[in-house]
Structure 1
């Protein structure tokens, strides 16, 4: 699909959206730095990396209002749930459409709370259903599924402080690996220390990390080379947009660099159009992304991340 096809596809959505503006009340449920209060947090790598900045939130809110929508905002899930249960929103006047990015706290599955609540009260919402939201937040489970279907499976091992290596499967001694929190995103818990040459004596460190964040850890081979994010619109068709390359230190080839917490939180990275860098690999990743969102059941808008080695072999990258 070329750029004109993508523009026409988006235009069809715009035509549908224009006819719905007067009928919809947009409810933004979002965590915003400085506005969301009273949340559990981690030390050193805060959940704030998942939150909107005030500028980001205002850009979204103001854009929707400029389009002609009526917009109500809630900065945590509890206030929105209270408003629905106690009829503080007039649901008879307009249909509610919830746009949710809230995931307050540190508990596993937290981003599924609002989709599940909306399902129960038959409220429209954007994005995937609660099961798929939680599935895609679980790196081990989602990778285990995709590894059965995609052409370049990524070996993924699971470690927990309660059970050690699951099924006694661990990385090879002397293998360079990266370890990540199984249930987090936005580089939470991911520092430079998380990439190292594996030997079994590292299990003590892994146990402490798992216990500190109260969740399992995944380990994968570390892929030196490039990092790419591929956004995709998922409707009746799955339409991949251009592949977005990650640039660190002004270099497209980031080699042994990666988006650790400090780089992500401080925005010490930039983007470039990977389609212009290597269209052949980009097109292959787009086809795999279409397959991935279908297999996982993603709806609305999604993203599939990749690491690409120096030979051009690419792997789905757990977020």
Structure 2
């Protein structure tokens, strides 16, 4: 495992070196929603988390600008504030406009139109990875994907899931909002899914419940291939990580391998699997795959984050800090990966 992680560290260091060499020409811009005024039924990023992210990008660039109002950013963009071609303008945005599947795609599309470099996912991947119903169908060719069906209001949804319990969640769910565990009973599922569909005004995912450990694997695009970072086990009370637990930070992290984790033997396979998924999706940003580890042979994807939390409250921060023992390596790696993918370093 030491040799495996040393190789990962070397690959990430290549991205960090690219960012460091380009630092004197970098202008990083961050754009965040007002966390208390978001229209979408989604998790919120807290002011303390925003501060972590702002500090990380501030220390990784020559010029740094923070926006908390997308209309102000859009006006500056249209007015030509970022036209200086001797500076590389890079945007990181978590803004959601509206409530639909395209709510995170507007800003990446705007960047593309005005030839501004985007540090997060492009418009297509932002939309795809927000729509769980679609991306689980897209990933059905892969092994280790939780059995998933969609409730779209039909009177008798086809239920081919055999597990004792199932998980119900909104198809555009973020931060565990609305995630519910119920007995695998046709009538109970139909009743609960119908109520949830009315409440959230979107289709409902019905997914096999995997009893096991929750493990996250951050993935970033490197110089030669995708880089899967050291996995992070997320400990929490109960069977599932709920919205309230996420909101109240009622969870703990363990970097793997860990002596208290019984399936350390799966780590190389997890890393290879996560890279193959992101290679298939052609992700050009930092993403995160969440797995449930059932036993020493079986693990299943149950979520993919196109916009993982970059603060110290998230698994991406923990994974990068484990390798580099600092608070800026992740942000520099994100910048380096973006410069590399855009061929502008």
The verdict on how the C-alpha distance between 1:63 and 1:290 changes in structure 2, with shifts beyond 3 A counting, is closer
User: 2:161–2:207: 8 Å Cα contact kept in structure 1?
Assistant: no
Q: Which has the higher contact order (CA 8 A, sep 6+)?
A: 2
Residue 248 of structure 1: how far off its partner (Å): 1.5
The verdict on how the C-alpha distance between 1:144 and 1:18 changes in structure 2, with shifts beyond 3 A counting, is same
Aligned counterparts, 1:52-131, within 5 A = 53-89=46-82, 91-92=84-85, 94-131=87-124
Alignment pair present for 1:148 and 2:137: no
1:50 maps to what in 2?
44
| 265, 272, 276: which one aligns with 1:291 | 276
After superposition, what is the alpha-carbon deviation per residue over 1:268-298, rounded to whole angstroms, capped at 9, x for unaligned?
Answer: 1111023233332121111110111011121
| 137, 150, 163: which one aligns with 1:158 | 150
**Residues in 2 aligned to 1:93 and 1:215: alpha-carbon distance in whole angstroms:** 45
1:317 maps to what in 2?
302
**Residues in 2 aligned to 1:307 and 1:291: alpha-carbon distance in whole angstroms:** 17
**Residues in 2 aligned to 1:39 and 1:12: alpha-carbon distance in whole angstroms:** 37
1:253 maps to what in 2?
none
1:183 maps to what in 2?
172
SS of the residue 1:317 aligns to:
strand
Residue 105 of structure 1: how far off its partner (Å): 4.5
| 138, 162, 165: which one aligns with 2:131 | 138
Q: Which runs of 5+ in 1 are unaligned?
A: 250-255
The verdict on how the C-alpha distance between 1:221 and 1:68 changes in structure 2, with shifts beyond 3 A counting, is closer
SS of the residue 1:230 aligns to:
strand
2:196 maps to what in 1?
209
User: 2:26–2:87: 8 Å Cα contact kept in structure 1?
Assistant: yes
RMSD after superposition: 2.3
SS of the residue 1:186 aligns to:
coil
Q: Which runs of 5+ in 2 are unaligned?
A: 305-345
SS of the residue 2:104 aligns to:
helix
TM-score, with length taken from structure 2:
0.79
| 226, 229, 234: which one aligns with 1:241 | 229
After superposition, what is the alpha-carbon deviation per residue over 1:23-67, rounded to whole angstroms, capped at 9, x for unaligned?
Answer: 121110123536xxx43254xxxx3x332x222222222233334
1:40 maps to what in 2?
39
Aligned length: 298
SS of the residue 2:167 aligns to:
strand
SS of the residue 1:110 aligns to:
coil
Residue 174 of structure 1: how far off its partner (Å): 8.1
User: 1:171–1:219: 8 Å Cα contact kept in structure 2?
Assistant: no
**Residues in 1 aligned to 2:17 and 2:56: alpha-carbon distance in whole angstroms:** 17
SS of the residue 1:111 aligns to:
coil
TM-score, with length taken from structure 1:
0.85
User: 2:145–2:300: 8 Å Cα contact kept in structure 1?
Assistant: yes
Which segment drifts farther, 221-230 or 233-242? 233-242
Which segment drifts farther, 201-210 or 278-287? 201-210
